Structure 1
């Protein structure tokens, strides 16, 4: 299974509605509290300490 490393605004809003990762997963805040409009890169092994970026 390949993990997605970027998310569009529409995908982040779908996450707020519980549609992106499933109904039992944590949700992002919905508009107007959504803090960002896209994620350009995210992973679980990058960053200064190898814990994710």
Structure 2
């Protein structure tokens, strides 16, 4: 394998890692949003219980 091929492989590997990293960040972002949504619904549920006679 010559230097050009080695550099190309390194570039591909780097791109692959970056894609995985972005996927991980996106997943964590979605999870945070989902948790926020659940918390919000829980709060609404508690408010409804308090308002109910």
TM-score, normalised to structure 2's length? 0.21
Higher helix share: 2
Q: TM-score, normalised by structure 1?
A: 0.21
Rg comparison, structure with higher value:
2
